[in-house]
Amino acid sequence: MSQDAPQQDHTHLFDDARSRLEEVFEALEIARDARERLMQPALSLQISVPVRMDDGSLKVFPGWRVQYDTSLGPAKGGIRFHPAVDQLEVTTLSFWMAVKCAVVNLPFGGGKGGVQVDPKQLSRLELERLARGYIRGIADVMGPNRDIPAPDVNTNATVMGWMSDEYDHLVRGQTPAAITGKPLTLGGSFGRVAATGRGALKVLDIWAKREGRKPQDTTVAIQGFGNAAYHFASLAHAQGYKIVAVSDSGGAIYSEEGLEPDPIKEEKTRHQQLKGMVYCDDSVCHAKGVESIDQDELLALDVDVLALAALENQIHEDNVDDIRAGLILEIANGPVTSAADEALEIRGIPVLPDVLANTGGVIVSYYEWVQNRSGDRWTEETINQRLDAVLEREAATVLDRAEAEEISYRKAAYRQGIERIAEAIRERGNNQDGE
């Protein structure tokens, strides 16, 4: 799918999510109340965001904020700006947030937000007006103890800074703990920008160590080259993993010798798209040894690890048979459909699931929230050590459980997360039949 893709039908996304839930309900003795509660979101808000465009006209963009479940704590989750965003996508993303926060034992429920917009078509000032308008639309349901937004696809620290400023104006006071992923000067945390990629690498390392696999002997192809993908690529490269391919919404590049993520990032900034960096002038070819390939070819490469760090639904029934990777690392949310997931399980291709592999971002967002509430500031070293420790502990529990119960990593992670949420629902009381 391209970043500029038109509307998509996301019905199957939420159906997939529910079927994964039902699988856990069947496998475990989850109380009836929790089952009822978890089949739909707790709160779903649709808003219209009017934006005064630079030419004086007014455009109105639809937006959503969904709080799936808040039994474990305030809702937490990013805000996505993308033309394909709709209510079902945001709802499913909020469900995944609830599961992932529980998998890594954070005191948060799951939330997510989004605006249906192509941000590439907006000027910087229009984007700022959109960000501020979105916050005005959801201000009544957010706050440090209710729902704490953060960055996601096409939003970043700058956008969080505008949103945080808007919220401060609305509540007439500095409230940094209401939004995470902010710039450092506005109460952001060291380590948040790289956290999703760093966390994914940590989960990969934990798995590789158990398998007796060394980074130097491991080839990696990465779909995506945005925030999560770039930091993963850069850190993995520094650790010795051989990154042979990366892609973005416009194309993909490949090098058998291995790519260097940092210069590629600089080139991408210059040329906007990855494929733009492979060009020749005056018979000199820039980016020697690097070839331009099709995005779908990247997915089918014969590599040890295929890291998916773009959008959902990238591996599906129609292309799952082409996959030749030894392992799939889900850095994006929901990049593998449940039908493809089953096919991969049958073929013995393990998947390190999103609800574990991409939790680095929300874990460091949690540290940002804690620092904002205490007025403290932790060093990057402290942040990274704490992140590693949480992932060591929670990933080990998931991997051990998968082994003990002879189930996939995804099923083990879902069992771990849903059990914790169901327990919180039970402890909150008012239960049917004293369950």
Ligand X SMILES: NC(=O)C1=CN([C@@H]2O[C@H](COP(=O)(O)OP(=O)(O)OC[C@H]3O[C@@H](n4cnc5c(N)ncnc54)[C@H](O)[C@@H]3O)[C@@H](O)[C@H]2O)C=CC1
Q: Which residues are catalytic?
A: 112
- In the list ligand X, ligand AKG, none, the entry touching 30 (Cβ below 5 to 8 angstroms by class) is none
3-state secondary structure 66-110: EEEECCCCCEEEEEEEECCCCHHHHHHHHHHHHHHHHHCCCCCEE
CB 51 within 8 A of CB 59: yes
Return the H-helix or E-strand segment holding 397. Answer: helix 380-405
DSSP codes of every residue in 273-284: SGGGGS-EETTE
What number of chain residues touch ligand AKG (CB under 6 A)? 13
How far from the centroid of its chain's Cα atoms is residue 283's Cα? 41
Show contacts with ligand AKG in window 393-412 (CB under 6 A).
none
Calculated CA dihedral for residues 14, 17, 21, 27, nearest 10 degrees: 140
| Three-point CA angle 409, 351, 347, nearest 5° | 105
**Between 41 and 149, CB nearer to ligand X:** 149
- CA 171 to each of CA 130, 175, 178, 257: distance values in angstroms, whole numbers, following the listed order: 19, 8, 11, 54
Applying the rule CB under 6 A, the residues between 78 and 117 that interact with ligand AKG are 78, 97
Query: Which is nearer to ligand AKG, 274 or 413 (by Cβ)?
Result: 413
Binders in 265-304 for ligand AKG, by CB under 6 A: none
Q: Which is nearer to ligand X, 2 or 239 (CB)?
A: 2
Distance, CA of 179 to CA of 113 (rounded, Å) = 12
**For the chain, how far is it from start to end, CA to CA, in angstroms?**
45
Q: Is 152 in the site for ligand AKG (CB under 6 A)?
A: yes
Rg of the chain over Cα atoms, rounded to whole angstroms, equals 21
Between 94 and 219, CB nearer to ligand AKG:
94
* Residue ranges in 104-156 assigned as alpha helix (H): 124-138
181 or 191, CB closer to ligand AKG? Answer: 181
CA dihedral angle for residue 234, residue 215, residue 243, residue 258, rounded to 10 degrees = 110
Region binding ligand AKG by CB under 6 A among candidate stretches 76-84, 243-251, 335-343, 383-391: 76-84
Nearer to ligand AKG, 99 or 344 (CB): 99
Which option in ligand AKG, ligand X, none does residue 8 bind, with CB closer than 5 to 8 A by kind?
A: none
Task: Using alpha carbons, list the distances in angstroms from residue 64 to 61, 79, 111, 297, 430.
Answer: 10, 9, 10, 34, 30
Q: How far is the CB of 182 from ligand AKG (least distance, A)?
A: 11
CB of 293 closer than 8 Å to CB of 300: no
Interacting residue ranges for ligand X, rule: CB under 6 A? 1-3, 151-154, 196, 223-229, 247-249, 295, 309-311, 331-333, 358, 361
Residue 153 vs 264, nearer CB to ligand AKG? 153
Give the shortest CB-107-to-ligand AKG separation in angstroms.
13
Report in angstroms how near the CB of residue 302 gets to ligand AKG at its nearest: 30
Considering the complex, what minimum distance in angstroms separates the CB of residue 271 from ligand X? 13
In whole angstroms, the minimum distance from the beta carbon of 223 to ligand X comes to: 5
> Which of ligand AKG, ligand X, none sits in contact with 191, Cβ below 5 to 8 A by type?
none
> Whole-angstrom Cα distance, residue 109 to residue 101?
7
Q: How does 198-219 read in b/e, with b if 16+ C-beta sit within 10 Å?
A: bbbbbbbbbbbeeeebebeebb
**Could you tell which of ligand AKG, ligand X, none binds residue 378, using a CB distance below 5 to 8 A set by kind?**
none
Considering only 71, 91, 180, 255, the residue that binds ligand AKG (CB under 6 A) is: 180
Binding mask 309-338 for ligand AKG (x = CB under 6 A): ------------------------x-----
Residue 85, binding choice from ligand X, ligand AKG, none, Cβ under 5 to 8 Å by partner class: none
Q: Write out the residues near ligand AKG by the rule CB under 6 A.
A: 76-78, 97, 150, 152, 180-181, 333, 358, 361-362, 365
